[in-house]
Structure formats: C-alpha cells, structure tokens
Amino acid sequence: MLLNMNQMLGVAKENHFAVGAYNVSDSNLFRTVVEAAEENDSPAIIAVHPTELAYCKDDFVKYMIARISNSPVPFVLHMDHGDSIQSIMRAVHDGFSSVMLDGSLLPFEENIAKTAEVVRYCHMVNVSVEGELGTIGQTGETVKGGMTEVKYTNPEDAKTFVNKTGVDTLAVAIGTCHGLYPKGVTPKLRMDVLKSIKEVVDIPLVLHGGSGNPDSEVAEAVRIGIQKVNISSDYKSAFFTKAREVLARPNSGWDPNNLFPECIESGKKVIFHKMNLFNSTGKAALYRQAQIKQWRNELV
C-alpha cells in the first residue's frame, strides 16, 4: 500500500503513535526496512535523501514503488531533505508520494517563500510536503559532515510558517542531531519547546536525528505529539557492524546471498525496537480497515 504522508500520519495522530522514516539507498537496506515492517505489521516511511537517490539512481525507485505498492502494509516513499526545486521535481517525476523541502538554513521569509512554492506544485499532484524550521544539529558523522549547533524552533515562528506555507508536516529542532553522537555526548531534548509548538501548531510534527537519543526521551516526544521519527544511522550501523563480522570470517566468499542475510537480520532488530518504541507495531491493520471503509463508501 503506497500512501502520501497525510494519509499515513492522519491515522497515526488519531491513534497516538508515530511512524519511523528509515533512510535507504540500496536493495539490502530497502529489504531490511520493508521486511521488518511486514513482519511487525507496522506502517513505515521509506526515506531517500538526494545524495542517496544520486547513488541508487532513479530506476531503483520503480522497483521500490512496485514492491511497496503490492504490500499489505502501508508505506510512504519520501524524499528526505530535498534541497532545491530541482530535487523535489525529480522526486515527483520518479513517483515519490511525499517530499521534504529543507529551507531551514535560509532566512525565515525565504524559507516561507520557497516552501510555499513547493507546496503549491506538490499539492496539485497529491504529493505531501514537509518543511523545516530551526536547525537540527550535525554530529559530523553523517553524509552532510561537519558539526553544527542546534537552533531551537521558535513556536510563534512555527505557527506563522505553517499558516503561510500550507505544509503538511513540520520538522522541528528540539535538541536532536543528525548522525550518531560522539562518545561522552548525551543529547537532551527540550520537551518544553515541543509542548509550546504543539500548542500553536496542529499538523503532525517530525523529529529528525532520532538515532542515539535515549528511548525514554523519544517515547516522551511521541507522547507529546511527534508523529514521524527519522532513523538512519543506528539501523545502518547495526547492518554494517554485522557485515564487518561476516566478512572477517575465513572463506566468507563474495556472494551477496551468503553475506547479507545476517546483516539484514541485525538491521531488522534495531527497526523492531524502534517500531515498539513508536508504538507502530501491529498498526498496519488500521490502514487496511480505513481502505476497506473507503472502498465501501465508493460503492454506495
């Protein structure tokens, strides 16, 4: 089942759970996420960053769409951190059901103008749009590289931004960083900032940089009103830690079908844990029920 983000997070908001967005860039990582979702009967968001799309190429998107469209579990195919109108149009052309325009480093008014333009185009073709306000930090361990500070989202600005752009979801900066945290660094989420944003903004909120934060904090953020949590580094790191172990074995060979099944299982374990944390395990049934209801309404 392929949905856009409104369809996905509308159900999540109503039933008080969050849906994980997992970055993929090849068939092994894609299988890890899709099979984990199906085994757990959990909804999931397949996230592809422009640098990941540059790596896996546009034709790979056709395979992903065919695979998830035929699944009994709901998926969104989402462009993560679209950085230009061109990257957004490329995603729409490839068949993504949702995009993010990250204008968070632009001056406030420019971020509004650019995001509103993307919303106008994307809504014409039923593609949902995520905007970002405030600056989510970088730990220096991601593809973006370099360390940056967190600039917390201002709740009043968030309200103005949502009203003026018409975005469907908003990524907020409440203290998380992209990537895995260096040893000795303990991130602390500002729940007070999240609560203040939630009071003035009604659309689903998104937490980026969800890898490496304590489970209790992520669960609390979901309870307050986060509906989408982005996960990339910690399930991939489990996959590749296992890959290193498998490759170090004598005579491990060179066939993907021998090397990767154990890595996929290791990545899945992290995803199962996240799905339980977000309370999305078993929730795919809600979407199937909604779909049946819609078909019935169309028949009468």
Q: Shortest Cβ distance from residue 49 to Zn ion (Å)?
A: 8
Grouping H, G, I as helix, E, B as strand and the rest as coil, residue 80 is strand
Concerning whether 157 is annotated as a catalytic residue, the answer is no
Instruction: Give ∠ CA 32-41-209 in degrees, rounded to 5.
Output: 55
Q: Residues interacting with Zn ion, by CB under 5 A?
A: 208
96 vs 260 by CB, closer to Zn ion: 96
Q: Using the CB atoms, write b or e for 34-46: b if 16+ within 10 Å.
A: bbbbbebbbbbbb
74 vs 134 by CB, closer to Zn ion: 134
Closest CB to Zn ion: residue number? 208
Q: Shortest Cβ distance from residue 165 to Zn ion (Å)?
A: 18
C-alpha dihedral sign at 101, 67, 21, 267:
negative
- Distance linking the first and last C-alpha atoms of the chain: 23
Q: Shortest Cβ distance from residue 213 to Zn ion (Å)?
A: 13
- Note whether 228 and 255 are within 8 A (CB): no
In 3D space, the residue among 199, 139, 144, 200 whose CA is nearest the CA of residue 175 turns out to be 139
Cα Rg for the chain, rounded, in angstroms? 19
In terms of Cβ atoms closer than 10 Å to its own Cβ (0-12, 13-18, 19+), residue 176 is: buried
Among 41, 58, 59, 80, the one annotated catalytic: 80
78 vs 208 by CB, closer to Zn ion: 208
208 vs 283 by CB, closer to Zn ion: 208
208 vs 274 by CB, closer to Zn ion: 208
Determine the Cα–Cα distance for residues 38 and 117; give it in Å rounded to an integer: 36
Q: Shortest Cβ distance from residue 136 to Zn ion (Å)?
A: 6
Determine the Cα–Cα distance for residues 217 and 83; give it in Å rounded to an integer: 29
Q: Which residues are catalytic?
A: 80
